[in-house]
Amino acid sequence: MASQVSLEPNQKVNLKAARRKERLKNLKKNKLIYLMIAPGILYFLVYKYLPMYGLIIAFQDYKPYLGISGSPWVGFAHFERLFQDPDFWMIFKNTIVLFILQLVIAFPIPVILALMLNELRHQFFKKSIQTLIYIPHFMSWVVIVSISYVMLTLDGGIINSLLRAMGFGPINFLLSEEWFRPMYILQIIWRESGWGTIIFLAAIAGVDPQLYEAAKIDGASRLRQVWHITLPSIRSVIIILLILKIGDVLELGFEHVYLLLNSSNRAVAEIFDTYVFTAGLQQGQFSYSTAVGFFKGIVGLILVIGANKLAKKYGEEGVY
């Protein structure tokens, strides 16, 4: 027994040395791969992780001339102010409603488009359709919203001109609270749905063709093959993207909403991103806007962890 106990430290040293040697061996073997991902790692370190140091000002009364180290500490005062703000629940509701609309309406459309594109057999026609639906992704939100403005404006807009020609009255889409959310979702579908099909088409390409051949022998129609083979085969990819999407519950994108926001539709259009811009940059409330951003990040983190655990509970792979 004594000799066995005396050997344990040596065994640990040998085990650590063996692991270190194995890591160095893998590093040399895959050095080109590590070199390739180095810019991505550097990007996240510089633009994502290092700026997290600035979250400290959410707990301070930050003054630029005093700096982070010299600004007075106020604890959770800015978070208390956020939750007591009369506009908080309006902003929270608007953000959640827009997110749910994205999740229920916009998220499934790339999956449906990918399934439809996969059924096309004429390659030229298939590639042409793909190119057409990919193009809007490369347009900025300024261009997308400008096109919508030209089409929907009361002064010579195509849509209102058609409504007048059919005997209906004009609709002020751009200033209407009722039309803001449909307009927002339709613009997202137009811009992002085509680009979103890339991942799903790649997942579909990895499905074993023998499964389809066996289904054909059993007399399964194309619709049944999609339902019983294609969708279950790409389910893990759908779940992972859904979990990542849930993490963006309060991160709807500043530029898009800000371009659509005006005084007439603010009651349904104001979200956390535009609120942070107004409070932080326009009004100079840096600590308060940082606290709002911190709150968004914490909510997103909790939802990602919860959704990941739920996915694993039901036998899916999850994100980690």
78 plus 212 within the same structural domain: yes
- Are 196 and 275 within one domain? yes
CA 125 to CA 112: how far, in whole Å?
18
Residue type, 83: F
Which of 58, 91, 106 is at the close of a domain? Answer: 58
Shared-domain flag, residues 272 and 149:
yes
Task: Verify that 139 and 97 share a domain, yes or no.
Answer: yes
Q: Label residue 282 by pLDDT band (50, 70, 90).
A: confident
Length of the chain, in residues: 320
Provide the pLDDT for residue 7: 46
Per-residue confidence (pLDDT) for residue 2, from 0 to 100 = 45
Span 243-278, pLDDT tens digits: 888 887 777 878 899 999 988 888 999 998 888 888
Using a 10 angstrom Cβ sphere, with 0-12 exposed, 13-18 middle and 19 or more buried, the burial of residue 88 is middle
Query: For residue 184, what pLDDT is reported?
Result: 93
CATH of the domain at 176: 1.10.3720.10
Is residue 54 domain-shared with residue 182, that is, in the same domain? no
Amino acid identity of residue 178, one-letter, is: E
**In this structure, are 173 and 220 located in the same domain?**
yes
Question: 176 and 38 share a domain?
Answer: no
Closest CA to 266 of 144, 171, 175, 172: 175
Q: What are phi and psi of 205, to 5 degrees?
A: -65, -20
Secondary-structure percent of the chain, ordered helix, strand, coil, rounded to 5: 80, 0, 20
pLDDT above 70 coverage of the chain, percent: 95
What is the crossing angle of helices 77-84 and 286-313, to 10°? 80
The answer on pLDDT for 18 being more than 90 is no
Lowest mean pLDDT among 2-11, 166-175, 184-193, 221-230: 2-11
320 in any annotated domain: no
Token couple for 284? 């100079």
Using the 3D structure, point to which of 58, 81, 100 is the last residue of a domain.
58
Residue 320 has pLDDT above 80, yes or no: no
In a domain, 318, yes or no: no
Q: Compute CA distances 16 → 5, 31, 176, whole Å.
A: 18, 22, 66
Domain count along the chain: 2
**Rounded mean pLDDT of the chain?**
86
pLDDT at 10: 64
In a domain, 29, yes or no: yes
Structure tokens at 214: 């066996």
Q: Give the global pTM.
A: 0.82
- Shared domain for 49 and 89, answered yes or no, is no
Residue 182 sits in which domain range? 60-313
Q: Which of 4-18, 229-243, 303-317 has the lowest mean pLDDT?
A: 4-18
Query: Do 183 and 49 fall within a single domain?
Result: no
Domain boundary among 33, 58, 83: 58
pLDDT tens string 61-101: 888 888 888 889 998 999 998 888 888 889 999 999 999 99
Instruction: Indicate whether 75 and 109 sit together in one domain.
Output: yes
Distance, CA of 280 to CA of 292 (rounded, Å) = 10
Based on the domain organization, do 6 and 94 belong to the same domain?
A: no
Query: Do residues 66 and 54 both lie within one domain?
Result: no
Q: Residue 208, SS3?
A: coil
Asked whether residue 319 is domain-assigned, the answer is: no
